[in-house]
Amino acid sequence: MSNQFGSNLKLLCSHYRSIAEVCRKLALNRAQFNRYLAGQSRPTAHNLKRICDFFGVEPYELEMPSEQFARLIGVRDGGTLPADGDPLLELFSPLRRQASSLDRYCGYYFEYANCMSVPGHVLLSLVHLRLERGAYLFERQERQERQERTRGDSEDWVRCRYLGAAFLLQDRIFLTDYESLTGNEISHTILIPSFKSRINRLNGIKTGVSSGDRRTPACTRVVWHYLGSEINRVNAYRQLMLYAPDDPRIDDDIRQRLAGAKLRDGLFEME
């Protein structure tokens, strides 16, 4: 483990209200955790796995140089985003002002989607939608078991981490994200909001490309299942994988939502 571990761990903790909150969620001793942050000691293999599962990172990523790691996960600071002189930010500024509040939708979701790269299977991902400095941002974690191992593969799993922004416009939730580990993919999701007092599941569609060599453009139905504003991230992360459509862990309602659509005026509409 490199001497970058402590500083990278501090950056991960900055996405939470306090170090105490992180220790409480991880059920780790605060004094011991402080020694990890200070670089005075290293966690055991068991505690390292708990930390990585909680933050959604891999052990080798915590060994990266701090600047590279910061680019990987995104830096959280207390400043404001500079709008002047940045054409991309200026382009989206009117959209941010026009969009409606997504406060009631903030929290964690399981995302169920027909897998674009492995047809006939359901991909379960974890999404966290949050409000940060006036913008609605989200993070989506995917994890698939590696189909084939090649020399140099250090993990049995292929992990993807998407970062994006969300807008509520004209009774539709629009979400655009990019794959932050490789920077070679952008995907788009449109969800139909819930008008019930309690959010349970949201229907929608997702467009992107498959992870195969040909990077084939694809579109799939998607379902977001609301988990709550606070969750056990370790337990949630362990459930992220590909599922067979008849797997008993995928309930009938999810299967029907992923399969159900009706054709009207030449266009598919979610039921």
Under a CB-based contact definition with an 8 Å cutoff, are residues 98 and 169 in contact? yes
Provide the pLDDT confidence category of residue 111 given band limits of 50, 70 and 90. Answer: very high
Domain containing residue 141: 87-270
The three-class DSSP label of residue 116 is: coil
Q: Are residues 263 and 190 in the same domain?
A: yes
User: Domain containing 40 — which CATH number?
Assistant: 1.10.260.40
Q: Is the pLDDT of residue 83 over 80?
A: no
Q: Are residues 151 and 181 in the same domain?
A: yes
User: Domain containing 187 — which CATH number?
Assistant: 2.40.128
Under a CB-based contact definition with an 8 Å cutoff, are residues 134 and 167 in contact? no
CA of residue 188 relative to chain centroid, distance: 13
Mean pLDDT of 130-152: 77
Number of domains in the chain: 2
Q: Are residues 14 and 36 in the same domain?
A: yes
φ, ψ of residue 132 in degrees (nearest 5): -140, 115
Listed residues 49, 73, 97: the one ending a domain: 73
Burial class (CB in 10 A: 0-12, 13-18, 19+), 84: exposed
**Bigger pLDDT: 270 vs 34:** 34
Q: In which residue are the tokens 């979400």 written? A: 175
Q: Are residues 51 and 159 in the same domain?
A: no
Q: Are residues 202 and 240 in the same domain?
A: yes
Q: In which residue are the tokens 């409606």 written? A: 100
Q: Does the pTM of the predicted model rise above 0.75? A: no
Q: Are residues 57 and 127 in the same domain?
A: no
Provide the pLDDT confidence category of residue 267 given band limits of 50, 70 and 90. Answer: very low
Q: Are residues 61 and 195 in the same domain?
A: no
Q: Are residues 164 and 47 in the same domain?
A: no
Q: In which residue are the tokens 């969009």 written? A: 99
Under a CB-based contact definition with an 8 Å cutoff, are residues 122 and 112 in contact? yes
Give the model's pLDDT for residue 14: 84
